[in-house]
Structure 1
């Protein structure tokens, strides 16, 4: 498009009331960035249309608006976005537009609209939108701050505001890739020792996740089994599975006095999931560094016990400590035995050697040192 035609397009759109201008802009954006021939100029125009006519972030001169989009306009925008993405037939083009609307540079600014759109898509549900949301999470990183914020929003909508909500029960069947990426992101929110006060998952979230994985042993690797469809030339990012993150919950739960039986059930479901992982060369399901993550928290707990002037035998026999170490050893033994661990396995085994004595852990370390 020429400069004159760019200006004419914007002038035509400015004559339209909202939300008509947003709807027309969205269609035009799809043509600009998904055509056979794309250019930086087309992308720049598309970005301008998004800012002015869709999200109302700038005025006609390109100056940033001080006021956020009103609740009424936001509702209208959500309806337009929902209709557009659910009616799109070309998955690659749909994902391209979705990623452009909520790119890494604008994800914070547009996080509210994104989270509401995905929340509606999860509740209805809309597989089409959830596929694009899953692609977005992978491309930005499903453990990134953006993905974690989206996961937090969904937890608020479906597990905090509506305890016991059952509308998501069928989601793993409808959108397994999205659920897998959601689980990876949500695992990053809880049991994190770098926070002043570690937080724990709501009971009904823990229950839902346990049920999801118990009834579908391949769910955790779903996002790795189907590559995201992107425009030609784009590089699809590999998904991180939720396995190590959720194992961390189960391993650390006893140390934080989180004694729900659900952690035992989740731990067993994760072990079963590991046994179902198909062999790949190189392995890609579980990162060695992520498996080692609980060591820091276990050692913090161990050091707190030492400050209580207990004997070494009393400390070693501490029930929560031994339960935690047993679960860590089981997770590592099964992960290594099915050969699904990637990264520096030697470093993982070295990390484990600093842990307090645990019979099973000692066997695991010795066995894999011998194999090596």
Structure 2
């Protein structure tokens, strides 16, 4: 490595960067011929950091930096290389060697170059780079993933009006990248503040993707060996949790951002879900309703996929602790908006939460005990549908292959009757004699619901 380094020091910045990329190709192609798991050694990483990301190895050496034109030329060289490299394994290992965060001062330069490369790949539809970026998003820490997502959102949803169409077109080119991108943007935009509400163009694009093909959200899960040890802090296997958060929190989050009328009679800033002043219809309410329906459809699909993988009742794609965090965020929003009379929005949020919980438990995506859910939702305001979900499902019978204590299928007993307890295994009962005939009873009057009476529900015990 020292000989290569001395040779690179005599070159200009662009020529040295091109030479490092050429060296990586030879080095890893040779390794893959001899071993199935190539090793990215420290010397290789140092060459990449010094001559591509311009973090000098020696403090006394002045770093060689590329101007904007040279940087653009290098990005074009990288695009061409990844496009022309026919071996996916070589592409993936070189992409990882270039852009895997190392936790050092070179990471800022590394992330800046990665954002520009992926943005260029979107613009010119370079599928090999998008596929490499999808793998990178799956392996890297969520902190770095949301940084890359923010770059793409800024480039295609904020800076140039109408450029979101370019990003939207990659749906058919690289669905795997789209799945990881959705997971990253739902982790970035968690609706915790006005700045973290997804831009309208981004929301519309994500909803269109998922509505057109709900299976898009499951691509990473369906193509990832569950036994593989993913790094701590990485993104979820699916974007389902983030999408449920968008649907559940959006009515209250947008309500929170409505500015009250000022004392001088002028109105404050309109929330993003209201039509804008330019005449365009920017109402996001139908989009969230459409997204909620799509998410429920995806959750219903999961039962078949989990059963096929022999994971039904064993793997929850919606972790209970993450659902608990969502409920905590919702409770804070409700408390914050109480003076604003957000009754309608609160009811809609709680209805969506109840529906998501019910379908997720029925599909086996959420594994938890009924008592845990009762305790978890005790801080939320009363909601009839949520009340039914908390008290409705009965436990699986003992002969069920699923774990006791969980109830992936939901069966709500008829109203007015207590839940039927789980039946125990029993031996064949002896035959008994028939009872004598008895007189026919007079018919009872039919029970009717009186107008104005609340819909009955079983209280939590």
TM-score, with structure 2 as normaliser: 0.69
- Structure-2 residue corresponding to 1:116: 116
Unaligned runs of 5+ in 2: 256-272, 274-283, 397-404, 406-461
- Structure-2 residue corresponding to 1:332: 357
Deviation (angstroms), 1:341:
2.6
- Which structure: greater helix fraction? 1
Deviation (angstroms), 1:345:
8.0
Report which structure shows greater RCO (CA 8 Å, sep ≥6): 1
- Cα distance change of structure 1 residues 128 and 293 upon mapping to structure 2, 3 Å threshold: same
Map of 1:304-323 to 2, 5 A cutoff? Answer: 304=336, 308=339, 318-323=343-348
Note if contact 1:253-1:263 (Cα within 8 Å) is conserved in structure 2: yes
Deviation (angstroms), 1:110:
1.4
- Structure-2 residue corresponding to 1:243: 240
C-alpha distance in 2, partners of 1:242/1:189?
12
Instruction: Write out per-residue CA displacement over residues 159-209 of structure 1, whole angstroms, 9 at most, x where no aligned residue.
Output: 11123331233322221111111111101222343x5x5521111111100
Note if contact 1:134-1:181 (Cα within 8 Å) is conserved in structure 2: yes
- Structure-2 residue corresponding to 1:264: 289
Moved more, 79-88 or 209-218: 79-88
TM-score, with structure 1 as normaliser: 0.84
- Structure-2 residue corresponding to 1:276: 301
Note if contact 1:33-1:46 (Cα within 8 Å) is conserved in structure 2: no
Map of 1:73-88 to 2, 5 A cutoff? Answer: 73-88=70-85
Deviation (angstroms), 1:349:
4.9
C-alpha distance in 1, partners of 2:296/2:211?
10
C-alpha distance in 2, partners of 1:293/1:201?
20
C-alpha distance in 2, partners of 1:168/1:344?
42
Deviation (angstroms), 1:213:
0.2
Map of 1:333-372 to 2, 5 A cutoff? Answer: 333-341=358-366, 347-368=372-393, 370=395, 372=405
Map of 1:27-38 to 2, 5 A cutoff? Answer: 27-33=22-28, 35=31, 36=34
C-alpha distance in 2, partners of 1:8/1:191?
49
Moved more, 331-340 or 184-193: 184-193
Unaligned runs of 5+ in 1: 1-5, 229-233
- Structure-2 residue corresponding to 1:298: 330
C-alpha distance in 1, partners of 2:394/2:101?
42
- Structure-2 residue corresponding to 1:13: 8
Note if contact 2:54-2:64 (Cα within 8 Å) is conserved in structure 1: no
C-alpha distance in 1, partners of 2:369/2:119?
37
C-alpha distance in 2, partners of 1:345/1:149?
38
- Structure-1 residue corresponding to 2:156: 158
- Structure-1 residue corresponding to 2:459: none
C-alpha distance in 1, partners of 2:89/2:322?
31
Secondary structure of the equivalent of 1:109? helix
Instruction: Write out per-residue CA displacement over residues 291-327 of structure 1, whole angstroms, 9 at most, x where no aligned residue.
Output: 3333123212332355x4x9xxx88xx1110000000
- Alignment RMSD: 2.8
- Cα distance change of structure 1 residues 66 and 358 upon mapping to structure 2, 3 Å threshold: farther
- Structure-2 residue corresponding to 1:255: 252
Secondary structure of the equivalent of 2:188? coil
Deviation (angstroms), 1:214:
0.0
Note if contact 2:96-2:136 (Cα within 8 Å) is conserved in structure 1: yes
Rg: which structure is higher? 2
Map of 1:45-194 to 2, 5 A cutoff? Answer: 45-58=43-56, 61=58, 63=60, 69-105=66-102, 106-141=106-141, 144-164=142-162, 165-193=164-192
